[in-house]
Amino acid sequence: MAAGKMELLQTGPVPPFVEPQLDEHFSVHKLHKAADRDAFLKEVAPKIRGIITFGAIPIDAALMQKLPQLEIVSNMGVGYDSVDARWAGEHGVVVTNTPGVLDEEVADTTIGLLISTVRELPQAERFLRAGKWLEKPYPLTAGTLRSRTIGIVGMGRIGKAIARRIEAMGLPVVYHSRRPAPGVAYRHYADLKAMARDVDVLILIVPGGSETKNMIDRDVLEALGPNGVLINMARGSVVDEPALIDALRNKKILSAGLDVYADEPRVPKELIAMENVVLLPHVGSASVETRRAMGQLVVDNLKSWAAGNGPITPVPETPWPPVEV
Q: How far apart are CA 139 and CA 109, in angstroms?
A: 25
* Contact string (CB under 6 A) for ligand 8YV, positions 223-242, x = contact: --------------------
Instruction: Give just the sign of the alpha carbon dihedral 285, 291, 294, 298.
Output: positive
Among the residue ranges 44-52, 62-70, 265-273, 277-285, the one whose residues contact ligand 8YV (CB under 6 A): 277-285
Q: How far apart are CA 31 and CA 59, in angstroms?
A: 12
Q: Is 97 left (phi over 0), alpha (psi -120 to 50) or beta?
A: beta
Active site residue 282: yes
Q: How far apart are CA 218 and CA 54, in angstroms?
A: 31
Q: How far apart are CA 298 and CA 74, in angstroms?
A: 6
Angle made by CA atoms 199, 204, 205, in degrees to the nearest 5: 135
* Contact string (CB under 6 A) for ligand 8YV, positions 68-107, x = contact: --------xxxx----------------------x-----
When the beta carbons of 58 and 180 are compared against ligand 8YV, the nearer one is 58
In the bound complex, what is the minimum distance in angstroms from residue 84's beta carbon to ligand 8YV? 16
When the beta carbons of 79 and 151 are compared against ligand 8YV, the nearer one is 79
Active site residue 167: no
When the beta carbons of 89 and 284 are compared against ligand 8YV, the nearer one is 284
When the beta carbons of 103 and 200 are compared against ligand 8YV, the nearer one is 103
In the bound complex, what is the minimum distance in angstroms from residue 203's beta carbon to ligand 8YV? 15
Interface with ligand 8YV (CB under 6 A), residue total 10
Q: How far apart are CA 92 and CA 71, in angstroms?
A: 7
From the candidates 71, 264, 270, 317, give the one annotated as an active-site residue. 264
Q: How far apart are CA 96 and CA 248, in angstroms?
A: 37
Task: State the burial class of residue 207 (Cβ atoms within 10 Å of its Cβ: 0-12, 13-18, 19+).
Answer: middle
CB closest to ligand 8YV, residue no: 77
- Residue numbers 278-297 binding ligand 8YV by CB under 6 A: 282, 284-285
DSSP code per residue over 255-287: EEEES--TBTTB--HHHHT-SSEEE--S-TT-S
Active site residue 218: no
59 binds ligand 8YV (CB under 6 A): no
Catalytic residues: 235, 264, 282
List contacts with ligand 8YV (CB under 6 A). 54-55, 76-79, 102, 282, 284-285
